[in-house]
Amino acid sequence: MRILVTNDDGYHAPGLAVLEAIAAQLSDDIWVCAPSEEQSGAGHSLTLNRPVRLQQFGERRFAVTGTPTDSVMMGLREVLDSPPDLILSGVNRGANLGDDVTYSGTVSAAIEGALAGIRSIALSQVYSAETRGNDSEFSAAREWGAKVIRPLLGVPFAARTLVNVNFPPRPAEAVKGIRVVRQGFHDYSRGSIVEGRDPRGHRYFWFGLHAIEHTLDHGTDLEAIDDGYIAVTPLQLDFTHHASIGAIAERFADPAEG
């Protein structure tokens, strides 16, 4: 089985090394093609206004001066001589839960793989104040990653779908298990913008995502993580709200509404 590994935290990120170790439990045919620098929050963006450069760091190891989407495209079109059987993206340092998936470069790399018709899985490690930066930060992902991926290899993925996996912020031995759940939602109205001043006195702003509240509806990825479980969520790329098509179409079909 050929595996293409990528991420959005950058080629040198510790989570990428964790993912390579996970992939090594599944195959010995592993290829790396990741952004050369951190691209968190890049979403499904594509670099169009400057050249993208491909750097080789070793056998089957490459970095791209672009986004996670660029990395997958370059991996599929320039690096590999045949398509991989599996694309793994991550392990992201931080959660990709609920509607955060629309911002996530980690998930978007898997989206690009899904668009290419390749089985694709995004993996993220949620962290807390207790686990951030210490030896247990990636503990759950490191020990549970292959256990989560193996069953997914035998499941047919529908066209234009992918799977999003989040590991809870606790040591591997404290993880309660795995839940297959739906996507939850955040309350973005409570997000904050933090203002500061640079040395020249000019204003700048940071998005304070830490202030966003979770809506812990039953059966969601947010609830699963909060309860200490690994959240496995199948995602689809069809954003169409099918229930609204009829009502909106009627408005355009009525000449009196023109």
8 Å CB contact between 129 and 88 = no
pLDDT in tens, 108-126: 999 999 999 999 999 999 9
8 Å CB contact between 236 and 157 = no
**Could you tell me if residue 189 is inside a domain?**
no
Rg of the chain (C-alpha set): 20
Q: Which of 142-156, 166-180, 183-197 has the lowest mean pLDDT?
A: 183-197
Instruction: Give the whole-angstrom CA distance, residue 251 versus residue 258.
Output: 8
**CATH number for 155:** 3.40.1210.10
Instruction: Give the whole-angstrom CA distance, residue 250 versus residue 237.
Output: 26
Enumerate the β-bridge partners of residue 65: none
For 201, the enclosing helix (H) or strand (E) is none
The residue behind tokens 């791209």 is: 64
Instruction: Give the whole-angstrom CA distance, residue 169 versus residue 128.
Output: 6
Indicate the number of domains in the chain: 1
**Could you tell me if residue 104 is inside a domain?**
yes
**Could you tell me if residue 192 is inside a domain?**
no
Write out the residue range of the structural domain in which residue 128 sits: 2-183+216-257
Enumerate the β-bridge partners of residue 162: 235
**Could you tell me if residue 207 is inside a domain?**
no
For 65, residues 6+ apart whose C-beta sits below 8 A from its C-beta are: 35, 36, 37, 52, 53, 55
Closest CA to 171 of 232, 126, 211, 215: 126
**Could you tell me if residue 188 is inside a domain?**
no
Instruction: Give the whole-angstrom CA distance, residue 128 versus residue 172.
Output: 14
Q: Which of 78-82, 111-115, 130-134, 176-180 has the lowest mean pLDDT?
A: 130-134
Peptide bond into 91 cis (omega under 30): yes
pLDDT in tens, 49-108: 999 999 999 999 999 999 999 999 999 999 999 999 999 999 999 999 999 999 999 999
Asked if the model's pLDDT at residue 228 lies above 80, the reply is yes
**Could you tell me if residue 201 is inside a domain?**
no
CA 7 to chain centre: 8
**Could you tell me if residue 91 is inside a domain?**
yes
Copy the structure tokens of residue 211: 């202030």
pTM of the model: 0.92
**Could you tell me if residue 140 is inside a domain?**
yes
